Each structure stands twice: as C-alpha cells, then as structure tokens.
Amino acid sequence: MKKRPKAIDGTLRKSFLRVPEVIRECSGINIFGKRIKSLVFSTDLAIIKNVNADAVMAVYPFTPQPIITQSIIMASDIPVIAGVGGGLTKGMRSVLLGTNAELQGAIGVVVNAPTSNGVVRALSDTLDIPVVVTIVNDQTNIEERIEAGATIFNVSASADTPRIVAKIRKDYPDFPIIATGGPTEESIRKTIEAGANAITWTPPSVSELFKDVMTKYRNNVEAPH
C-alpha cells in the first residue's frame, strides 16, 4: 500500500467539523461519478461550510422553499440532496420543488416517508437526478417503492435502523442505502455492517459548539478562530 502524504490543515480551519472516521468504512454510493460515503444532516450554512462530509442532506420540518434550497446549494462546496416534502407538502407541489432543485444544481432529492408511490413515480419520471425515499419503519412495501422509481433508500428509524437496513439488504443486495448512523462509532459501524452504503451524520448545533469557544474565551484560553 502506498504511503499517503501528511494531511494539510490551515491555521484558521482547525475548528472544521470532522465526520466520524468509521464512516470511511462504507462502500459509498456513486452519484454522477462522485463517491459519497458521508452526508451531513443540516441546513445551517455555517455548519455546511465547515464540515468535511462528502455531501449535504438538506431536510427540514417545514414546507420546502426554493430560496432555502438555492441558498444551501450556492453556499455549499459539496453536493446537496434537497428535501422536497412528501408529508406536509404533497403531489404536484413536490414535483415542482424537485424540478426546481434539479435546475438549481441539487445532486438528488429526498422525500419523506408518507410520500405516495404516485408522487415518487412522478418525480422519477420528471427528474434526471436520484429520488431518495425515506424509510422509517418496516411497514413500508419496499418492492412497491422500487417499482415506483425510488433510486436510493434513506433509512431513518432511530435505534431500529440497523435491523431495517439488514432486512432491505437481504432482499435487495445491490440497492443503494443511506442510513442514520447514531451517536457513537459503535452504532455507526453496526449500521454499516448491516449493509448501509452511506451514513448521514447529525453535527452538533452552532450553540453547542459556541459553548466550548465561549468557555475558552472566559478562561483566557485561545480558541479556534
């Protein structure tokens, strides 16, 4: 094995967020020639600009708005998978949001678990980017989702995620799966071993990160810039 050169870091970038190293054990999902193993689950531009994830999973609990998607894509220097609803936002509106996201440069769109197969099919027929369908429990008819045009599954089932990933992987050995990894390296590795190809990672919030910085400032200790 060839020896890798030493890592390069700037003085002002030492506070960059790093995704857990264990995620590199994923096989990754190849989308338009880019191999994606880690996705940061965030819509915070400050986080997105200061994390070493391979891509962004931009989903939030409100009706998707094109201006939000546009802002994230413009600010991000890594690919963005944009949320287009499926729960509160349904039907043709989700398809229009998906079209808008593709034209703005999103590398994929993700829909929520309640999204009907009809909407998944309409998105698949309309878009030339992957349609990522979220799975939250084992009640989902996986075969129908695939027939409707799902390109990738996004398994987000809390502690039950590894079991559901393993169940999908058993029946569909080659189907791309993104999954939440949980809070520890052990839980992430368990999800990878279950068959996940890529892992979404939830970073600490800006307010949580600021606590450490402010504590160092109060104690007159140099904090990251």
Task: Tell me how far apart the alpha carbons of residues 108 and 124 are, in angstroms, rounded to a whole number.
Answer: 11
CB-based burial of residue 158 (10 Å sphere; 0-12 exposed, 13-18 middle, 19+ buried)? exposed
SS3 for 88-126, per residue?
CCCHHHHHHHHHHHHHHCCCEEEECCCCCHHHHHHHHHH
| Beta-bridge partners for 81 | 57, 108
- pTM to 2 decimals? 0.90
What's the number of domains the chain is made of? Answer: 1
Q: Using one digit for the tens of pLDDT, what is the confidence trace for 4-56?
A: 787 777 666 666 899 999 999 999 999 999 999 999 999 999 999 999 999 99
Q: Using one digit for the tens of pLDDT, what is the confidence trace for 124-146?
A: 999 999 999 999 999 999 999 99
Residue 182 placed within a domain: yes
Task: Tell me how far apart the alpha carbons of residues 104 and 55 are, in angstroms, rounded to a whole number.
Answer: 16
Mean pLDDT, rounded, for 88-97: 88
Residue 194 placed within a domain: yes
Mean pLDDT, rounded, for 87-110: 92
Tell which residue, 223, 219, 214, 130, has the closest CA to residue 177.
130
Residue 1 placed within a domain: no
Show the domain range for 58.
16-218
> Which CATH number goes with the domain that contains 194?
3.20.20.60
Residue 2 placed within a domain: no
Residue 67 placed within a domain: yes
Residue 225 placed within a domain: no
Residue 8 placed within a domain: no
Residue 224 placed within a domain: no
